[in-house]
């Protein structure tokens, strides 16, 4: 059987299978793990076989011929699909342990359907396949986010309405573009759009605008940056990493697949070194990451905080793509993978915390480092990576994107990038300080470290981010294939060094790691040769031996966590009120609801029926006169 | 060989930083019409602190302090000292900016682990301040990178070689002014010292540190002074023809900061951030536009 | 082929017999419907189509004739399928009135589709009006009586317009035969033609549930029992779709090409379709009564179907027929399940239906499949219809482009309320109370079977490709496929 088809069939069949045996949750999740393992393995073997394909002809005519659905193994699709399935594999391992009696979300079958559409999106060769899978992904994701909980269903509704707008624009765009090229093939449609750009600029802009809207919605780029904070926060804890790391990449994938080649090949008006539409994209990315960073800093719910953080990270990726340069795209692809790794690590460690404590508000936690040291370590390395601090992987990609932006002289975009990544430091540390450090509340005195099955994937992720940080070649080598596949001329990248377009600015990351290690050793020696230390209880020091319980308070009340950045927030309050897209959306929703009530009232009144009939006749008569 | 180099450079930076701190204290004292401690007082302090018994609360505190010093030392190694550095590298500015963050992260982690609210408030202020000064700092750096088409400090320093009139301070005076203000914030000197404000949060991050932890903190601070002034020298003062020249320039820059520190009162944190985002950032943007177009 | 009369006569006979039957009524009704269904399938599969059957040997245009084409027999099959299903899900209706009126409805609905004569069309549509009124009023409470009267008033007003229209046709063309009118339509002067079209359209749009002629719809669905809902949707609605194809696109077509003869009125119909889609989907958004939601959605789908029919190219027609089939199947699933759910919870409000999907996962999933198909999500039958209609409308005028935008906007609203409702079934039940009644297995089986068909068509649209192509072809070349059947050799 064709391996491309197997990739689709295996998750599909297991989805129905697991639906039948949904009661045996451990079995279901084990099957889920096995499927993700199979997919990862199959994808791994597919590397380099860029001629694999599969297609089927349906008995449905469009443009005068039968519709064909086809898949192809392209380097770009492979790149995303492989790392997505690797992430899924690790999450799946975590899910087995996570979904016990108390936490079972029963979402495994739908999740398998989502993985099925995931594969379809990344390997689609024609727009129809792409759209089919895209819409399947949107709707299945709705059911997973909602997962039979009232509060989640509300959040999911928000996701769904925005997502459906995205599918609507995508459908319109696909039909317009395929009418233009008289076929659904993606490659042909790129060429015909390039041609359209030379003849009818504004129409072409409208066409790609429709696609870009869809992709921006799915990746939550400004002006659609609001939905993740709701959807990510309320989805099942073990699904959030998938939502945040894999599903936010669909839009990125779409941009690279379709928009970038068009912008690269078309003759467009320039703004500085790059074309205007690309610059627009970069500005959107910049606004997204700045806004999301500011919003993340003020969250008290840790899942919401990292939802905004994901939005900001996708903003970096879009900025990198918009440079249209080899280094920028390399950085963007690299950051996509990095984001998958470190954000999965972060969300999994938080899921472990939630699993043990049942608490999502950061200020109600504290001091968990005493009870869950491994989780703490995973989280620490993940945020070091997320903050873009060497020698972990997040640095390399951020560095590449910054270099590309500077080389293209996109001055204010790169300032926004630096703002966002410095701000990232603020919110990452906020969660670290509030959840893992500080005083341990009494009610969490007895909690344990995360179970083994959770610890394994977290540890693997931790090692992965370190390994990629030290040896960037693990990722840059496959990226070479992707860039070659996209038609860029690239030098084979080295295992240790990353290159940039600026003069004399290449960076050897392995060397950086050595240097940092030597510095660590020096620092450690300083620490070791100095005097002895004594371990004392936290409150012994700063309450000078007084017992807080005697003043009717508990030590954990001393945790400074709730208004962590209060003065800073006051600075931004007027702006936050102004830009509340959320408020705008919900007021729009209210308008629709009111209109809906008014219209249905029209139908419950009997008096107007005949009047309305005559209005209808009037429409017909006037229409006939026109 | 490289390892020995690294150790020597680290010791050198620590020593210079500590002596700078001592001189700074002396200058402050003279401005207060006091006599002040000898210039080597900071070195003695370090020996004293390191040999004392100290209190820790958990392993995070130990890890954090070691990480802080290691991060700053690593950063220091990437800063070329009058064209010399411990190993061959391009001394990329972006690397330095991000490496410095390890120091902040380690410090922040260590002191929040103590559980003292004063320390945590101090850290929250320090991070807010960091966001405040990174923006103008990066805009200035961006101007330098754009005009040299390289993000290597060596290249930037080398471009100013030759006469004193080649220094960037003459080419981009606005950038220098902005950098001077920003440097004040980077070093945590007044008016930007809300995070360690002794009267409000009892020295903030330092409140729970004792013995060797405080010693490591002081060492970190010493190295950070070396790095920050070193960057300034490389950016605007030609980078120095030899290490002694380099250190003297650093000292000059440090003393300017110390003098300002003694003159000004303290901003509240939000005032400080607003100030940094309006004045130095505005000046830096003007400078950047002048360079770019 | 005179035996085709059985499709009308046997139900009418049954309706008369049902007045005397007691307990056997249901069985008799089922047997009769099963006979008509099997008989119509046999006709559809036989190779004798298309054929014109003159009743009593009087040839058209003077006699009454029935026209059996792939299109009309196909619709008969669908209508009788809905009829059977509506009988299977009956819960509690035991009196003879119900079965008697039902059988009249069946006869009339078959008659509407089969007749080749516009006056008989009028007669049959009057019959359906009265049958439906009686069926809606059957529960004999305040709600149903009100709804029935509302429907009766609107439908009678409309049929008076229809009758006047037919009168004008007879006065001007001197014939009542649809094929005859179709071939002579060019002879009319434009103003008379317009008058006729407006009068006849007014007559049929009430039954087609188009805004603003559809003030009766939500109340009627809400008041009717589940089986009446299925009849309203599956029999009346499907017959309505056939009426569009036959009256608008055959009788009033330009040279038998499937385009309405008056382009301005075609645009006006598109505007009405757009209004219908917009109004119904918006109205459904905040509706709490599940049956009313489905009623609004029925209106919306009808608007979509007529939009597809009015575009007038092959692609859009194919899409419209796909949509007819998809809507037919999916809506029946939803109505069947809604009836069960309301019986189980004792509440009309979908917010009270929590926990049903957890108790009966098959029913819950079938409901989801039905909703997704109506939304036009890929892998479900509705997608192909929507895709083809939108693609077909792209080549149309600015009205049609606006229509596309409206369809896409309302698709968002539709998606939100459908999935919101579907997901409610999977929420945890708040109280631990048992449900009022048990779900009946055969209803769920019917719904699940239809869901499987919806899924199958969605995955493999080729399943009904031939049938749809035959229908499309008949509309696009109605001169050779319809007029020639009735009057061999006229062209």
Sign, Cα dihedral of B200, B202, B208, B214: positive
Spatial CA neighbour of C192 closest among C164, C231, C157, C155: C164
List the single residue in A406, A529, A560 with the smallest CB-CB distance to B142: A406
Q: What is the DSSP letter of C216?
A: T
Residue B102: its chain A contacts at CB < 8 A? 384, 389-390, 516
CA distance A106 to A119: 22
Domain count, chain C: 1
Phi, psi of C440 (to 5 degrees): -90, 130
CA distance C202 to C200: 5
pLDDT winner (highest mean) among A484-493, A580-589, C377-386: C377-386
- Residue A543 pLDDT > 70, yes or no? no
Residue C286: its chain A contacts at CB < 8 A? 592-593, 596-597, 600
The answer to whether B6 and A515 are in contact (CB under 8 A) is yes
What pLDDT is recorded for position A38? 92
Distance from CA of A284 to the nearest CA of B (A): 19
- Residue A541 pLDDT > 70, yes or no? no
- Judged by DSSP in three states, C289 sits in strand
Residue bearing tokens 């700045």: A290
This prediction's pTM: 0.91
Q: Could you tell me the pLDDT band of residue A37, with boundaries at 50, 70 and 90?
A: very high
Strands in C10-152 per DSSP E = 51-54, 65-68
Residue C466: HSE in the Cβ half-sphere, 13 Å Cα cutoff: 3
Spatial CA neighbour of A514 closest among B85, B2, B219, B226: B2
Q: How many CB atoms lie within 10 A of CB A552?
A: 7
- Residue A552 pLDDT > 80, yes or no? no
What pLDDT is recorded for position B153? 86
The answer to whether C363 and C444 are in contact (CB under 8 A) is yes
User: Helix, strand, coil: what percent of chain B each, to 5?
Assistant: 75, 0, 20
Q: What is the DSSP letter of C51?
A: E
In chain C, the percentage of residues whose pLDDT exceeds 90 is 3
Q: In chain A, count H helices and then E strands.
A: 25, 7
The answer to whether B67 and B106 are in contact (CB under 8 A) is yes
In chain A, the percentage of residues whose pLDDT exceeds 90 is 12
Cα angle C3-C9-C11, degrees, rounded to a multiple of 5: 120
Domain count, chain B: 1
- Residue C18 pLDDT > 70, yes or no? yes
- Residue C270 pLDDT > 80, yes or no? yes
Residue C264: its chain A contacts at CB < 8 A? 623-626
Residue bearing tokens 């009743």: C55
Is residue C199 in some structural domain? no
Q: Convert the pLDDT of each residue in A332-364 to its tens digit.
A: 999 999 999 999 999 999 898 888 888 888 888
- Residue B233 pLDDT > 70, yes or no? yes
B144: which 2 tokens?
């330098």
pLDDT winner (highest mean) among B138-142, C64-68, C432-436: B138-142
In chain C, the percentage of residues whose pLDDT exceeds 70 is 98
Q: Could you tell me the pLDDT band of residue C354, with boundaries at 50, 70 and 90?
A: confident
DSSP H or E run through A66: strand A65-72
- Judged by DSSP in three states, A534 sits in strand
- Residue C431 pLDDT > 80, yes or no? no
- Residue A544 pLDDT > 70, yes or no? no
Mean pLDDT of chain B: 85
Q: Could you tell me if A394 lies within 8 Å of chain B, comparing CB atoms?
A: no
List the single residue in A168, A175, A615 with the smallest CB-CB distance to C394: A175
Whether C contacts A, i.e. 3 or more CB pairs less than 8 A apart, is yes
Q: Could you tell me the pLDDT band of residue C491, with boundaries at 50, 70 and 90?
A: low
Instruction: End-to-end CA distance of chain C: give it in Å, rounded.
Output: 24
Residues facing B84 on adjacent strands? B81
Q: How many CB atoms lie within 10 A of CB C328?
A: 23
List the single residue in B90, B94, B116 with the smallest CB-CB distance to A542: B116
β-pairing, A533-535 vs B54-56, is: parallel
Please give the radius of gyration of chain B, using alpha carbons only, rounded to the nearest integer. 18
Q: Which residue of C has its CA nearest to A149?
A: C427
What pLDDT is recorded for position A545? 67
**Mean pLDDT for the stretch of residues B185-198:** 80
The answer to whether A494 and A473 are in contact (CB under 8 A) is yes
**Mean pLDDT for the stretch of residues A497-510:** 80
What pLDDT is recorded for position B91? 77
C69: which 2 tokens?
């084409």
β-pairing, A533-535 vs A274-275, is: unpaired
Distance from CA of C244 to the nearest CA of A (A): 16
Is residue C448 in some structural domain? yes
The distance of Cα C305 from the centroid of its chain, to the nearest Å, equals 10
Cα angle A572-A575-A577, degrees, rounded to a multiple of 5: 110
Q: Return residues 527-546 of A near B (CB < 8 Å).
A: 527, 529-539, 541-542
Mean pLDDT of chain C: 85
A455: which 2 tokens?
């610890």
Spatial CA neighbour of A118 closest among A144, A93, A95: A144
**Mean pLDDT for the stretch of residues C380-390:** 88
Q: Convert the pLDDT of each residue in B19-62 to its tens digit.
A: 999 999 999 998 889 888 888 888 898 888 888 888 888 888 88
What pLDDT is recorded for position A223? 81
Spatial CA neighbour of C420 closest among C288, C330, C259: C288
Angle between helix axes A509-529 and B93-113 (nearest 10 degrees) is 40
Cα angle B173-B175-B179, degrees, rounded to a multiple of 5: 115
DSSP characters over A381-426: HHHHHHTT-TTSHHHHHHHHHHHHHHHTT-HHHHHHHHHHHHHHHH
Sign, Cα dihedral of A538, A542, A546, A552: negative
What is the widest separation between alpha-carbon atoms in chain A? 100
Phi, psi of A381 (to 5 degrees): -65, -35
Residue bearing tokens 């690590």: A345
Is residue C452 in some structural domain? yes
Q: Could you tell me the pLDDT band of residue A534, with boundaries at 50, 70 and 90?
A: confident
Distance from CA of A57 to the nearest CA of C (A): 10
Cα angle A353-A359-A362, degrees, rounded to a multiple of 5: 85
Q: Between A and C, how many CB-CB pairs are < 8 A? A: 190
What pLDDT is recorded for position C268? 87
Q: Which domain holds residue B242?
A: 2-292
Is residue C347 in some structural domain? yes
- Residue B117 pLDDT > 70, yes or no? yes
Residue B113: its chain A contacts at CB < 8 A? 369, 437-438
Task: Specify burial of residue C435 (Cβ count, 10 A radius: 0-12, 13-18, 19+).
Answer: middle
Whether C contacts B, i.e. 3 or more CB pairs less than 8 A apart, is no
Q: Could you tell me the pLDDT band of residue A105, with boundaries at 50, 70 and 90?
A: confident
Is B57 within 8 Å of A537 when comparing Cβ atoms?
A: yes
- Judged by DSSP in three states, A545 sits in coil
Is A425 within 8 Å of B105 when comparing Cβ atoms?
A: yes
Is A616 within 8 Å of C153 when comparing Cβ atoms?
A: no
- Residue A137 pLDDT > 80, yes or no? yes
List the single residue in C202, C206, C384 with the smallest CB-CB distance to A60: C384
What pLDDT is recorded for position A492? 82
State the best of A109, A166, A597, A603 to mutate against chain C, taking most chain C CBs within 10 Å: A603
Residue C394: its chain A contacts at CB < 8 A? 175-176, 179
What pLDDT is recorded for position A51? 84
Residues facing A270 on adjacent strands? A275
List the single residue in A596, A613, A617 with the smallest CB-CB distance to C286: A596
Is residue C481 in some structural domain? no
Q: Could you tell me the pLDDT band of residue C164, with boundaries at 50, 70 and 90?
A: very high
B127: which 2 tokens?
């991070």
CA distance B96 to B94: 5
Residue A232: HSE in the Cβ half-sphere, 13 Å Cα cutoff: 34
The answer to whether C158 and C461 are in contact (CB under 8 A) is no
Q: Convert the pLDDT of each residue in C297-330 to its tens digit.
A: 888 888 988 888 888 788 888 889 999 999 999 9
CA distance A376 to A383: 10
In chain A, the percentage of residues whose pLDDT exceeds 70 is 98
**Mean pLDDT for the stretch of residues C481-490:** 77
Spatial CA neighbour of B66 closest among A446, C176, A472, A525: A525
Q: Could you tell me the pLDDT band of residue C449, with boundaries at 50, 70 and 90?
A: very high
Q: What is the DSSP letter of C465?
A: H
What pLDDT is recorded for position B198? 67
CA distance A620 to C197: 9
CA distance A383 to C455: 45
Q: Which domain holds residue C349?
A: 262-459
**Mean pLDDT for the stretch of residues B194-206:** 72
Residue C226: HSE in the Cβ half-sphere, 13 Å Cα cutoff: 25
Angle between helix axes A186-199 and A150-181 (nearest 10 degrees) is 70
Cα angle A154-A160-A164, degrees, rounded to a multiple of 5: 155
Is residue C269 in some structural domain? yes
What pLDDT is recorded for position A197? 86
List the single residue in B54, B101, B142 with the smallest CB-CB distance to A425: B101
- Judged by DSSP in three states, C28 sits in helix
Residue C206: its chain A contacts at CB < 8 A? 613
Is A62 within 8 Å of C213 when comparing Cβ atoms?
A: no
Q: B92: phi > 0 → left, psi -120 to 50 → alpha, else beta; which?
A: beta
The three-state DSSP-derived secondary structure of A574-619 is HHHHHCCHHHHHHHHHHHHHHHHHHHHHHHHCCCHHHHHHHHHHHH
What pLDDT is recorded for position B209? 79
What pLDDT is recorded for position A40? 92
Distance from CA of A250 to the nearest CA of C (A): 18
Q: How many CB atoms lie within 10 A of CB A204?
A: 23
Is A61 within 8 Å of C461 when comparing Cβ atoms?
A: no
Is residue C425 in some structural domain? yes
**Mean pLDDT for the stretch of residues C483-490:** 76
CA distance A315 to C414: 31
State the best of C274, C282, C403 to mutate against chain A, taking most chain A CBs within 10 Å: C282
- Residue C143 pLDDT > 70, yes or no? yes
């Amino acid at each position: 059987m064709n391996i491309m088809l197997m990739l689709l069939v295996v998750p599909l069949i297991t989805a129905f299978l697991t639906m039948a045996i949904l009661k045996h949750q451990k079995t279901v999740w084990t099957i889920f793990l096995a499927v993700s393992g199979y997919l990862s393995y199959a994808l791994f073997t597919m590397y380099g076989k860029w001629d694999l394909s599969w297609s089927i002809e349906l008995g449905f005519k469009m443009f005068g011929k039968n519709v064909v659905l086809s898949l192809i193994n392209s380097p770009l699709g492979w790149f995303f699909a492989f790392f997505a399935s690797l992430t899924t594999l690790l999450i799946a391992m975590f899910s087995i342990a996570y979904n016990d009696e108390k936490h079972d979300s029963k979402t495994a079958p739908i999740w398998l359907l989502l993985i099925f559409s995931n594969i379809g999106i990344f390997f689609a060769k024609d727009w129809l396949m792409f759209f089919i899978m895209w819409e399947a992904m949107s709707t299945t994701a709705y059911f997973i986010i909602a997962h039979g909980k009232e509060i989640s269903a509300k959040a999911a509704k928000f996701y769904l309405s925005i997502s459906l707008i995205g599918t609507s624009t995508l459908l319109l765009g696909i039909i317009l573009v395929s009418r233009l090229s008289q076929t659904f093939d993606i490659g042909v449609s790129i060429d015909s759009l390039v041609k359209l750009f030379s003849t009818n600029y504004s129409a072409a802009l409208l066409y790609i605008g429709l696609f870009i809207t869809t992709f921006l919605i799915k990746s939550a780029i400004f002006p659609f940056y609001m939905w993740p904070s709701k959807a990510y926060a309320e989805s099942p804890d073990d699904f959030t990493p998938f939502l945040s790391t894999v599903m936010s990449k669909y839009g990125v994938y779409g941009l690279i697949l379709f928009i970038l080649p068009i912008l690269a090949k078309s003759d467009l008006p320039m703004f500085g070194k790059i074309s205007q539409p690309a610059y627009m994209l970069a500005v959107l990315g910049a606004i997204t990451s700045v806004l999301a960073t500011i919003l993340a800093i003020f969250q008290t719910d840790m899942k919401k905080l990292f939802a905004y953080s994901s939005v900001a990270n996708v903003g970096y990726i879009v900025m990198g793509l918009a440079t249209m340069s080899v280094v920028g795209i390399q950085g963007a692809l690299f950051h996509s993978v990095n984001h998958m790794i470190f954000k999965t690590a972060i969300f999994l460690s938080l899921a472990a915390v939630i699993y043990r404590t049942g608490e999502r508000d950061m200020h109600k936690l504290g001091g968990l480092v005493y009870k869950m040291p491994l989780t703490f370590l995973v989280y620490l390395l993940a945020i070091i990576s997320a903050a873009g601090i060497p020698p972990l992987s997040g640095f390399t990609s951020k560095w590449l994107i910054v270099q590309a932006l500077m080389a293209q002289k996109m001055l204010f975009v790169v300032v926004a990038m630096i703002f966002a990544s410095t701000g990232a430091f603020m919110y990452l540390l906020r969660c670290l300080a509030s959840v893992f450090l500080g005083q341990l509340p009494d009610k969490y005195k007895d909690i344990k470290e995360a179970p083994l099955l959770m610890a394994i994937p977290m540890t693997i992720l931790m090692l992965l981010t370190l390994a990629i940080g030290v040896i960037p070649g693990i990722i840059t080598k496959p990226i070479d294939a992707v860039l070659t596949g996209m038609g860029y001329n690239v030098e084979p990248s080295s295992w240790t060094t990353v290159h940039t377009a600026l003069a004399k600015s290449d960076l050897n990351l392995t060397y950086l790691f050595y240097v940092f290690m030597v510095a660590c050793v020096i620092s450690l020696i300083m620490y070791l040769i100095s005097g002895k230390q004594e371990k004392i209880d936290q409150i012994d020091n700063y309450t000078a031996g007084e017992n807080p319980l005697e003043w009717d308070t508990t030590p954990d009340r001393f945790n400074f966590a709730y208004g962590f950045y209060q003065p800073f927030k006051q600075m931004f309050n007027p702006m936050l009120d102004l830009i509340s897209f959320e408020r705008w959306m919900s007021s729009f929703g209210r308008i629709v609801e009111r209109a809906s009530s008014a219209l249905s009232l029209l139908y419950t009144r009997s008096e107007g029926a005949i009047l309305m009939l005559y209005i209808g006749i009037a429409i017909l008569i006037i229409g006939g006169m026109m | 060989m490289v390892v020995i180099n690294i150790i020597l450079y680290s010791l050198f930076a620590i020593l210079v930083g500590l002596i700078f701190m001592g001189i700074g204290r002396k200058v402050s004292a003279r401005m207060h019409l006091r006599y002040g401690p000898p210039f080597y007082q900071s070195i003695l302090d370090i020996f004293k602190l390191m040999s004392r018994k100290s209190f820790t609360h958990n392993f995070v505190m130990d890890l954090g302090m070691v990480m802080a010093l290691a991060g700053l030392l690593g950063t220091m190694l990437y800063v070329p000292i009058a064209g010399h550095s411990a190993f061959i590298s391009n001394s990329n500015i972006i690397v330095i900016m991000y490496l410095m963050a390890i120091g902040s992260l380690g410090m922040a982690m260590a002191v929040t682990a103590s559980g003292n609210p004063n320390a945590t408030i101090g850290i929250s202020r320090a991070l807010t301040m960091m966001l405040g000064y990174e923006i103008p700092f990066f805009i200035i750096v961006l101007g330098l990178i754009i005009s040299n088409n390289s993000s290597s400090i060596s290249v930037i320093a080398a471009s100013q070689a030759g006469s004193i009139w080649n220094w960037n301070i003459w080419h981009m005076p606005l950038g220098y002014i902005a950098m001077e203000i920003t440097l004040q914030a980077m070093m945590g000197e007044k008016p930007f010292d809300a995070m360690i404000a002794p009267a409000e949060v009892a020295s903030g991050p330092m409140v729970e540190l004792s013995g060797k932890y405080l010693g490591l903190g002081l060492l970190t601070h010493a190295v950070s002074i070396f790095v920050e002034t070193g960057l300034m020298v490389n950016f605007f003062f030609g980078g120095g023809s030899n290490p002694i020249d380099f250190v003297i320039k650093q000292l000059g820059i440090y003393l300017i900061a110390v003098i300002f520190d003694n003159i000004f009162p303290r901003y509240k944190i939000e005032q400080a951030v607003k100030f940094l985002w309006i004045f130095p950032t505005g000046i830096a943007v003007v400078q950047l536009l002048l360079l770019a177009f | 082929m005179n035996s085709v009369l059985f499709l009308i006569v046997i139900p009418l006979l049954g309706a008369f017999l049902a007045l005397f039957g007691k307990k056997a009524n249901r069985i008799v009704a089922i047997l009769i419907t099963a006979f008509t269904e099997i008989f119509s399938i046999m006709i559809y599969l036989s190779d004798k189509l298309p054929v014109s059957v003159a009743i009593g040997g009087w040839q058209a245009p003077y006699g009454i004739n029935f026209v059996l084409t792939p299109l009309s027999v196909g619709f008969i099959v669908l209508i009788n399928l809905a009829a059977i299903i509506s009988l299977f899900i009956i819960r509690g209706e035991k009196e003879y009135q119900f079965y008697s009126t039902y059988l009249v409805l069946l006869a009339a609905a078959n008659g509407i589709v089969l007749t080749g004569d516009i006056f008989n069309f009028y007669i049959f549509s009057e019959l359906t009006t009265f049958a439906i009124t009686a069926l809606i009023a059957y529960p004999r409470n305040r709600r149903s009586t009100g709804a029935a009267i509302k429907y009766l008033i609107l439908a009678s007003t409309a049929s008076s317009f229809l009758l006047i229209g037919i009168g004008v046709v007879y006065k001007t063309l001197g014939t009542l035969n649809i094929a005859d009118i179709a071939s002579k339509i060019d002879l009319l002067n434009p103003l008379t033609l317009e008058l006729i079209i407006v009068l006849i359209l007014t007559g049929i749009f009430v039954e087609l549930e188009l805004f603003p002629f559809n003030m009766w719809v939500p109340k009627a669905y809400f008041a009717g029992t589940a089986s009446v809902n299925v009849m309203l949707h599956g029999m009346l609605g499907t017959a309505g779709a056939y009426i569009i194809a036959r009256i608008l696109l055959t009788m009033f077509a330009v040279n038998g090409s499937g385009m309405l003869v008056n382009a301005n009125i075609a645009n006006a119909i598109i505007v009405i379709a757009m209004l219908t889609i917009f109004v119904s989907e918006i109205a459904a958004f905040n509706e709490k009564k599940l049956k009313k939601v489905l009623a609004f959605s029925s209106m919306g789908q009808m608007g979509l179907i007529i939009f597809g029919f009015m575009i007038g190219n092959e692609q859009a027609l194919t899409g419209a027929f796909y949509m007819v089939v998809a809507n037919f199947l999916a809506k029946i699933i939803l109505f069947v399940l809604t009836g069960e759910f309301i019986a189980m919870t004792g509440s009309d409000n979908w917010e009270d239906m929590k926990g049903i999907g957890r108790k009966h996962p098959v029913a819950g999933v079938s409901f989801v499949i039905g909703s997704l198909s109506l939304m036009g999500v890929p892998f479900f039958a509705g997608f192909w219809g929507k895709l083809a209609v939108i693609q077909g409308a792209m080549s149309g005028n600015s009205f049609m482009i606006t229509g596309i935008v409206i369809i896409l906007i309302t698709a968002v609203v539709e998606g939100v309320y459908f999935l919101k409702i579907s997901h409610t079934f999977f929420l945890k039940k708040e109280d631990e109370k048992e449900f009022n009644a048990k779900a009946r297995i055969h209803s769920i089986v019917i719904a699940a079977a239809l869901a499987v068909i919806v899924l199958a068509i969605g995955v493999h649209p080729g399943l009904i490709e031939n049938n749809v192509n035959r229908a499309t072809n008949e509309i696009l070349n109605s001169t050779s496929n319809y007029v020639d059947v009735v009057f061999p050799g006229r062209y």
